[in-house]
Structure 1
C-alpha cells in the first residue's frame, strides 16, 4: 500500500527561510535609513538654496542685506512698544520665500491674540519683542526654516529655525554692534570703534551690510550656517553652557574643553551639574527657552546666529549680559559628519567637522589686541577665513 505524500515545508525549512528573511531585512534596513537621510539632507540643502535666493532678491530690491538684530524700538511701552532692535535676519525675507501672508501679519499691526480674540490695542507694526509667546507669528513653525533631519519641536521653544546668519570669527561687541544701553538703545562711539575691528562677518549686529562690503568675494564668504535645535538633552552643540568672564572666553575659545566641562564618556554632552544658559543661573525666567534655534525671529546669536571660531559641531559657550548673549556659536546639524553652509553667492556647501580650523585657543580679533587693524588674518585657519568678508585671505574648497 502506497503512503500518501504530504505537500508543505518542514519545520527546519521554515526556520531556514525565516532566518534568511531576517538577514536580508537586517541588511536592507541600514540602506533604507541611509536613503531616507540622504533625502532629508537634500531637502535641507534645497531649503538653504531658497534662503540664499531670497537674500539675493532682497538685496536686489533694497541694495543691502537684512539686518541681524534690527527692527523697531519704543522705550515707553517695553516689549509691547516694538521688538527692541532684536528682530533677526529671517523675518524680512519672508516675502521672498513665499510667506507673504505671514509677512503682512508682522509688518501691519495685528489685532488678534493667539487664542483668536480681538485685542483692545493692536500689536505694533513689525511685531513686539521676538520672545513674546502670545504673538502668533513668533510661535509659527515654518517648514522653509527647518531641516527635516532635526526632530526638535514643542515647548519651551517658539517657532524654531535651523538656519543662522554668519557673524564672522570674532566676538567683541558682536551681540550689540555699535549700540549700548537697554531701552532705549543709543549709539556708542566706543562700541563703534570695537565693532569696526571685530565685525568681520557678512552680518553685523544692528548694522546693514551689502554685497559691496564682501571684498573677499561672495563665493569665498559664508553668509549663513546650519544649526541643530535643542532637544533638552544637554547636547554641547545646542545647549550653551554659561561661560567665564568675558576676557577669558574671548581669549580662549576652547575654555570649556580645557576646563573639563564635557563628559569624557559621552563627548557630545556636558558633564552633569554644569550650568547651562537655560538653567536660569541668573534668575531670569525667560532663559528656559534660550537654546539654539528656539526663536526663529530673534536676532540673538543663540537663536539665529553663528560664528566661524570653533569648527562645526563643536561646543557652544554663552556669555550672558543683561538681555543679550555672545559667545562661541559654531554651526551644527543632525547630518553625519558636517553641516551645510550658505555662501554669499547662493551656493550651498557641505562642510565637514574636520575642516582646517587653525588654533582654537588663539585669542579672537578685537581692538585692544589688534589696534587699528581690521584686516588681521583669522587665527582659525580656513574655517575662520571663510567667515570673514574683507580680509583678503586665500581659500580653497579642495581642502574641505
Structure 2
C-alpha cells in the first residue's frame, strides 16, 4: 500500500525522453551490427568462391598430370575441310576431375560445341564453375566465373596467316620489336621470334584440332622454368561465361574472350622496340585488375571480381590466394609468364 497520496498519484512507465534514448541506443546498435553482418556474408561468399576455384584449379592440375601437358584454353579447326569452327574449351578437358565424368563421357569430341549432340551439355549449369559473388550468373545456364592465364594474348588467323599472336585489345603483337608480325622468321638476326616470346609469356593457348595442325603449343609442368609457385594458372572474371544476349556463350566455348584472362600489353605504340617497354601498362587502364566491371560479358578478358581490393588467383603448384588489384605491373607480368627468365637479353626483360 502507498501511504503517501502524492506517491499514489505517480504513474509507472517511461517518459518521452527515456523512450527516445532507448530508440536511439537500439538504432546505434543496429547501425553497428548490420555492416558486420554484411561483412560476414561477403567474407563467406569470398571463401565459397575461393573453394570453387580451388576445386577447378586442382582439376586443371590433375588433367595436366594425366596428359603430361596443360590443356589448350580452346580448340579450333585449322581451316581444312571438315575441321572448320569452334570445338571446345579447357573446361571440357577437366570435367572428369570436377566430378562431371558423365558429362565428359557424353561429349562428342568429333563435333563442335554447338553441335546438337554437345550443345545441351555445354548449357548445363555447374555450380563449381561459378563464384557466389558473380552477379552475372543466370540460373540454369552454362555459367563460368573462372578463366585461365593466357599471358599477353591469343593466336588467330589474320590476313590469311595462321597462328598469328594478337592482343585482346592491341591487335598483332610485335614482341621482339623488329617490325615484323605474324611471322615466325627473324631472318637470322638471333632475335627470338614473336611466336617464341609469345609462348614464354603465357600458359594456355588456342590450338587446332584434327586435320592439318597449324597451331599447337603447350607447356608442361617441367617446362615452368620460373617455378610452378610463381606462375598464375587461373583467376576470376565475372564478365565471362553465359551471356543472355549471345546464346553461343557458355563454359564450353573456346572463344578466347571467354576462356582466358590477359595482362595489359606492356609495349607502347604497338611494338616492343627499344624505349617502348613499360610494364606499368600490364596492370593499368581498361586492362587493370577489376577494371571493366560494368562491361558486357565477354568484352573485358581481364581478372575481375566483386571482392574488395582484388581477385582470387590459383597457381600451378596448387596454392590459391588473394591478389591485390594494386600489384606492380612488372610483378604481375612475371607471375603471368611461365618462362620469364628466357626473356633475358631481349627488350622485354627490362
TM-score, normalized by length of structure 1? 0.60
**Matched residue pairs, number?**
278
Give the Å deviation of 1:191.
5.0
SS of corresponding position for 1:289: coil
CA deviation digits over 1:308-363, x for unaligned, max 9? 224212349x9xxxxxx9x9732111100111111111111211111111xxxxxx
Cα distance in 2 for residues equivalent to 1:331 and 1:313: 6
Distance 1:175 1:347, change over 3 A: same
Cα distance in 2 for residues equivalent to 1:14 and 1:130: 66
Q: Contact (CA 8 Å) 1:165, 1:224: kept in 2 or not?
A: yes
Match of 1:56 in 2: 61
Unaligned runs of 5+ in 1: 108-124, 231-237, 239-277, 279-285, 319-324, 358-380, 395-400
Q: Contact (CA 8 Å) 1:133, 1:139: kept in 2 or not?
A: no
Cα distance in 2 for residues equivalent to 1:192 and 1:129: 30
Give the Å deviation of 1:60.
2.2
Cα distance in 2 for residues equivalent to 1:333 and 1:144: 16
- 1:209 partnered with 2:158: no
Cα distance in 2 for residues equivalent to 1:335 and 1:188: 35
Compute the RMSD of aligned alpha carbons.
3.8
Give the Å deviation of 1:305.
0.6
Match of 2:257 in 1: 302
Distance 1:290 1:197, change over 3 A: farther
Match of 1:219 in 2: 229
Q: Contact (CA 8 Å) 1:86, 1:300: kept in 2 or not?
A: no
Cα distance in 2 for residues equivalent to 1:149 and 1:328: 17
Q: Contact (CA 8 Å) 1:166, 1:203: kept in 2 or not?
A: yes
Cα distance in 2 for residues equivalent to 1:96 and 1:339: 24
Cα distance in 2 for residues equivalent to 1:301 and 1:129: 14
Give the Å deviation of 1:34.
0.9
Distance 1:188 1:31, change over 3 A: closer
Q: Contact (CA 8 Å) 1:131, 1:138: kept in 2 or not?
A: no
Match of 1:33 in 2: 38
- 1:197 partnered with 2:201: no
Cα distance in 1 for residues equivalent to 2:61 and 2:67: 10
Unaligned runs of 5+ in 2: 166-180, 185-193, 208-216, 265-281, 284-288, 344-350
| 334-343 vs 42-51, greater mean Cα deviation | 42-51
Larger radius of gyration: 2
TM-score, normalized by length of structure 2? 0.68
